[in-house]
Structure 1
Amino acid sequence: MTAPSARTLRRTTLAAAIGNTVETYDYAVYGFLATVLAKIFFPAASPGTALLSSFAVFGSAFLARPAGALVFGPVADRLGRRPALVASLLLMAGVSTVIGLLPATASIGIAAPILLVLLRFAQGLAAGGEYTTALIYVAEFAPPHRRGALSARVQVGSLAGLLTGAIVVLSLNAALTTQQMLAWGWRVPFLLALPIGAVGLYLRSKLGETPEFTAARTPRQRTSWSAVLLLTGVSVLHVIGFYMVYTYLQNYLIQHHLSPVTATTVIAFALFVGLFLVIAGGKLADRKGKAPVLLGTSLAVLVVTYPLFAALSATPPLWLMVCCTLVLSAGPALYSGVAPITYIELVPVRVRGSVVALSYNVVVAVLGGSAVFVCQALVEATGDPRSPAYLLLAAAAVSAVAAVAFARHSAKEPDSAPALETSR
């Protein structure tokens, strides 16, 4: 088989990553606009209740992700990776556009929040098939010696979406008055998903099927439970690290006397640095091997997390807060550059779409969807502002054990993905 050209790899990676950009862009926009959306869709409630209702709607997308995996995973395995990628992006960009056009509660009453819940659920369905299918597509196209680096660029697309969402909302807040944001400004970020999605759909429409999927003729394959457990264990730090650093930490900084704009700017800077760290993690995996990078970054997170939360909880000067945030985000960013290719190589081609999507999205639904709540609950229960560190420490410990187990499996089966079984 002829290796794909550099131009083909660039187009393939961009087409795959742009869907994840739309996914996390929508996530960021909703999160940053939560207080505005609370007033628009839950105007009769008290401010606190309205905000809780807004976040509950936000969380409905997490609950839908495993269902989305059950829909899009089999499509990717039976019809091909490309149809699943096109369908998930079409649904995601379309739903975001509809949210931007949705009438407020003042116009159509209770139908407005009901429709918002349904639309967020539909976004969760799309997200359940988007990220993992994009990872699979890039990994199956990439040369073996570049799989880590190229797969990491899909994760870069996710961080780019968060960064873009933060910049768009910050810009609107700076340019518009509060009344303008409530009247029409909140719609703009959602509607911007349409042109981004249109570009992505155009790029994906030009894609062919992956060589691995085309070459895989075995109609029935299955993966062992040990592979699923390994995949789950590796994904724990990936998921919790992502949602803690790039979602919860903003609120944590605000609680420790940073203004919302300053806290968002600090997280945006961490996201920008994270773009390069993710790629570095993927390249390290290609050069040094996946297991050493997984284990090394997990151990680094175990070492630095508690001291960094202790420093942040003491409300240090701004420059020190920025430094602590960057160091705290570095480990999860490096880790997320290598974890995705590990998922792909644990599962055989013909069931890869279904198994990877369902395993990963169950972890996202259970741990990613609850990470912010658990962190805040730890602070409330213990009265200790350093206590959120315990969740990240637990995640790093689980993933360190998984990294050791992955290394042992790789040593037993150096020429194939570990723990694979094929039924003929």
Structure 2
Amino acid sequence: MLKKIILPILLGSSIASASEVVFYSTQANPLKEADAMRNDVLIDYDGNVKFLPQEAGPFFSRIQAESRTNSVTLGVLGALHGQFPQIQNALDPVDDVLAQLPKVSANTAITKLGKLGTDHQKYIPWMQATYIMAANKKALPYLPKGANINALTYDQLAQWAINLTKATGSPKLGFPAGEKGLMHRFIQGYLYPSFTHSVVTDFRGKDAQEMWAYFRSLWKNVNPRSTAYNLMQEPLLTGEVWVAFDHTARLKGAFDQKPNDFVAFPAPAGKYGRGFMPVIAGLAIPKNTPDRAASVSLIKYLSRPDIQVKTLKATGFYPVVDVALPEDLPANVRIAGKAIALQANAPDALPSILPVGLGNLSGQFNKVYQDTFQQIILRNADIDKVLNRQAKRLRTLINRAKAPCWAPDKASDGPCPIN
């Protein structure tokens, strides 16, 4: 009698799980975000989906275990760009999915990252965060003649800084160069790509020397208190700084407290393009997933503009598609969102992704760029000598980690070379 009762229950459970898409993700892991994903983002999906956010360790372990045993239960995988290489061989190509998402594929710079250096699309861009520029509207009259704030060059930024210093009597351009600031991200993701089309390989070349000479000249019109700034929202609010660079989360306070006083805009462009550092999360499908059509359907749903806005509200990550943001969003989201979209979709966009493959050496890698900045810019040391010395440190770290190149450097077999 007991068997007759249990059997239909087990069969029913099996049927329910087979029709479910298991959405396994390292993102939206905090309880509040996970609840928002289930109750706000996924609630209108026309199908059954189980959202299972997970820490990175268990996330990788389950995917690799299922791949090895060929008993895949997962339907869609959500992760950061830098996490996908670790499970790259377990991913099903999604070129066919991208072809069905014209709004996503229009963002060519970010979509290309989803190939992971291969000939096939390995993940579909899902959402993004990044670093942008912000300005007090009082600074706008001093823009160089003919300059478009949404398409600035580094030369125009330098002239703008000069104009502001002359007009106000003190430098009004600022950077987060304090002990806990993110100055190294500006150097890695913005200066180096824009001026050298590289982060590692051409660390010390002629283009890099010219870049550091430019930045040394620019620094003459940077607020000297920048070396104490950790978050640029504070000096923007006090008026010490009128133009600044920082992560969107570290500009949030200024935009929210005085939304009518500030504008956000893309980073400037240099010789090789508009270098910027996106923090990209993507959606992938594991090989041998139980119901690939259902997985594709969920990815298409999550890529819809209206669902991208709901995802923004749930996670704080911005859309990867061009979308009009509603007025009921917080001021910081509306102000930063436009700049993020313009930056990512610029015709000269040149994304530089967060370092990949460095493991616990990431801090030492960042310190190379911080030390280079301090020695060249703050101590006025010889540019060529500093770059040669720091290049040796960089090579040692890259070789120890056996880290291959990442965008915008060209893919490498083995550790990323340094010219």
TM-score (norm 2): 0.26
Structure number having the greater strand percentage: 2
More helix by share: 1
- Give the TM-score, by structure 1 length: 0.26
Q: Which has the higher contact order (CA 8 A, sep 6+)?
A: 1
Larger radius of gyration: 2
